Structure 1
Amino acid sequence: MHVPDGFIDAPVSAAAGVVAAGAVAVSLRGARRELDERTAPLAGLVAAFIFAVQMLNFPVAAGTSGHLLGGALAAILVGPYTGVLCVSVVLLMQGILFADGGLTALGVNITDMAIVTTVVSYVIFRGLVKVLPRKRRSVTVASFVAALLSVPAAAVAFTLIYAVGGTTDVAISKVATAMIGVHVLIGIGEAVITALTVGAVIAVRPDLVYGARGLRQRLKLRVNGELVDTPDPSAAPAAAPGAFPVAARSSHRKVWITGLVTSLVLAGFVSFYASASPDGLEKVAKDKGIDAKTEKHATEDSSPLAGYGVKDISDARVSGGLAGVIGVGVTVVAGTGVFWALRRRRTSDASPTSLPEGV
């Protein structure tokens, strides 16, 4: 659903840019509360994983494909504020390096794909986990439903933006019907990917899933006729303030390495077999004529990675795979840098202020 330059007029694109900038600023502050020893390393990996999976277009109808948007996945794994930043980092890398999504439309894309999907999915997710049984399976079910509904919500958001600032004269009812119809189908794929990923992380390290925190019920033992909580196996042993258990660090490192390798394999190898059909927005734009004023991407000729291939490499498999690997690497470095900086800022702000001698 990457909106190219030319779909939306300049005033509305600028307004969307202001909305996106404001939301990112709020998310930067909110993410400082969400990021800790568990989520800070994972957040950069989540961004890289979303980048990789977005390369895997899957068929949803005749001549149409879809791909992960990632807002629900990011929000549930690392928190809604951090989730907005994860998807925004992905969109920024795609727009600058891969000429995917217009630069003047970056605000529209962040508003639609990062903000709307993350906010809608997390609100639905939190509502569901409050009424479902307090079990790990409930988190997976809530993830499925939240991700499913987040995609047509993004389609509705695009339709509203297009209604205000569209550059072609197409009946908004036709755009809405086509966009929502195809993105309901894409939402099913989004839901499956999100639920499987969240379920896999919960199976290994449930404490790493932000949306699952506080849902686990402690076992109780009867001691002298009274029920008491059993010790929490994930609790940190007595250690210096801020220290992270060695066993937890080791397990965390395994999850991180596994996730990174998976992302590299998906982007560098599996992406070659992705559907070549246009995605939902591209198909609707072509069928309904809303792409009549599409503009050439500013970096299409200058970026060596434009179009998810490496220039001067003629073999499509090697070119696409190498571009995918580079994209994962750049995204994980950029994302991890941002989130560790926010984490360090939080730690610095939380540290006690030194007092003058004698006070």
Structure 2
Amino acid sequence: MHVPDGFINAPVSAAAGVVAAGAVAAGLRGARRELDERTAPLAGLVAAFIFAVQMLNFPVAAGTSGHLLGGALAAILVGPWTGVLCIAVVLLMQGILFADGGLTALGVNITVMGVVTVVVAYALFRGLVLLLPRTRRSVTVASFAAALVSVPAAAAVFTLIYAIGGTTDVPVSKVLTAMVGVHVLIGVGEAVITMLTVGAVVAVRPDLVYGARGLTAPLKLRVDGELVDAAPAAPAAAPAAGGSPKKLWIGGVVTALVLAGFVSFYASASPDGLEKVAADQGIDKNVEEHAAADSPLADYGVKGIEAPRLSGGLAGAIGVGATLAVGTGAFWVVRRRKTATLEA
């Protein structure tokens, strides 16, 4: 759902940029409460993983494909504030390096794909976790539902932005029906990917999943006919629950590199939901050439390398590395500032 330049007029794009900048600023403050010495490296990995999986377009209908948006996944794994930052880093790397998503539309994309998906998904996720039994399975079930709803919600908000600042004269009702309809289908794919990823991390390192914190209910003892909380047991010295999540980090990086560098070659070549709706409804009449169209990595290929498999695979690997480096660096700075504030 990467909005290109020319879909939304300049004033509304600027207003969305202000909203996105405010959300990123709030995310920087909020992430200080969510990140610690173990989860800060994981946040950079989450951004790199989302970048990789977004390269894997999957077919959803005749001539249409979809890809992960990632807001629900990021919010559940590392927290909603940090999740907004993860998506912002991914969109920034895609726009600057790969000419994917307009630079003047960066604020629109962060607002729609980052802020809306995170807010909707995490609010629904927390509500379901409170209602469901306090188990790991509840976390995966809630992640499925949250991701499923977040995608058509983002499509609806894009339609609202288009209604305010669209550069073409197309009935909003048609755009809304088409956008929400196709993105409900894309949401199913998003939900499956999110559920499987969250479930895999919860199975290996539940202590690192932000959305799974506090799932263990205190042991109850009956004393004089009344139930009281038992004294908490001393924490186990199991290596899986403490120390550096090095194995998970290495495994995640390798997985992201394999997905972006190899599996992406087999992704669907059909236009994604927004591209398809734009072409069918005519809202792409004023689309502008990307400012980074001459980038050596534009369109997810390395300029000068003729072999498609090698060109695309190398571009994907470079993107994973760049996103990992920028994301990890940003979250390390946030973590350091939190430490400095506490020490002061």
Note if contact 1:5-1:296 (Cα within 8 Å) is conserved in structure 2. Answer: yes
CA–CA distance in structure 2, aligned partners of residues 246 and 184 of structure 1: 37
Distance 1:254 1:110 in 2: 31
Q: CA deviation at 1:249?
A: 2.5
Q: Distance in 2 between matches of 1:219 and 1:93?
A: 47
Specify the alignment match of 1:263 in structure 2. 256
**Aligned twin of 2:296:** 304
Residue 18 of structure 1: how far off its partner (Å) = 0.5
Which residue of structure 1 aligns with residue 119 of structure 2? Answer: 119
Q: How does 1:116-265 map to 2 (within 5 A)?
A: 116-218=116-218, 228-229=230-231, 231=233, 233=235, 248-250=242-244, 252-265=245-258
After superposition, the C-alpha distances for 1:44-92 in whole angstroms (9 at most, x for unaligned) are 0000000000000000000000000000000000000000000000000
Look up the match of 2:43. 43
Contact 1:221 1:229 in 2 (8 A): no
Indicate the SS of the match to 2:24: helix
Deviation track 1:233-278 (CA, whole Å, cap 9, x = no partner) reads 4579xxxxxxxx797335x100000000000000000000000000
CA positional deviation for 1:38:
2.2
Q: Distance in 2 between matches of 1:52 and 1:177?
A: 29
* 1:285 match: 278
Tell me by how many angstroms 1:215 deviates.
1.0
Structure 2 unmatched runs, 5+: none
* Alignment check: 8 A CA contact 1:43 1:335 kept: yes
Rounded to whole Å, the distance in 1 between the matches of 2:22 and 2:217 is: 38
Give the 3 Å change call, closer, same or farther, for CA 234–16 of structure 1 in structure 2: farther
The code of the aligned residue for 1:201 comes to V
In structure 1, the residue matched to 2:330 is 338
Asked if 2 retains the 8 angstrom alpha-carbon contact of 1:40 and 1:339, the reply is yes
Number of aligned residue pairs = 341
Give ranges in structure 1 of 5+ residues lacking alignment: 237-244, 354-359
**TM superposition shift of 1:39:** 1.5
Q: Which one-letter code corresponds to 1:81 in the other structure?
A: W
Q: Once the two structures are superposed, what CA deviation does each residue of 1:118-158 show, in whole Å capped at 9, x if it has no partner?
A: 01100000000010000000000000000000000000000
Tell me how far 1:231 sits from its aligned partner: 2.6
Contact 2:69/2:151 (<8 A) preserved: yes
TM-score normalized with structure 2 length: 0.96
Question: Per the alignment, do residues 203 and 247 of structure 1 end up closer, same or farther by CA in structure 2, a change over 3 Å counting?
Answer: closer
TM-aligned CA distance change 1:347 to 1:246, over 3 Å = farther
Corresponding residue for 1:357?
none
Contact 1:39 1:208 in 2 (8 A): yes
- Paired residue for 1:241? none
Would the aligned equivalents of 1:220 and 1:229 in 2 still touch at CA under 8 Å? no
Work out whether residues 77 and 198 of structure 1, in 8 Å CA contact, stay in contact via their aligned partners in 2. yes
Distance 2:320 2:74 in 1: 16
Distance in 2, Cα, partners of 1:113 & 1:234: 40
In structure 2, the CA distance between the partners of 1:232 and 1:130, relative to structure 1 (3 Å rule), is farther
Number of the residue aligned with 2:265? 272
SS in 1 for 2:298: coil
Quote the offset at 1:97 in angstroms.
Answer: 0.2
SS of equivalent to 1:249: coil
Task: Let me know the Cα RMSD of the aligned residues.
Answer: 1.9
8 A Cα contact 1:95 1:102, kept in partner: yes
Distance (Å, rounded) in 2 between the aligned partners of 1:34 and 1:235: 23
SS of aligned partner of 2:324:
helix
Please tell me whether the aligned partners of residues 90 and 331 of structure 1 are also in contact (alpha carbons under 8 angstroms). Answer: yes
Contact 1:64 1:283 in 2 (8 A): yes
SS of equivalent to 1:60: strand
Identity between Structure 1 and Structure 2 (%): 78
Cα shift at 1:175? 0.2
Q: Deviations over 1:76-117 (max 9, x none)?
A: 000000000000000000000000000000000000000000
CA–CA distance in 2 between the matches of 1:235 and 1:183? Answer: 45
Q: Which has the larger radius of gyration?
A: 1
Structure-2 separation of matches of 1:234 and 1:155: 45
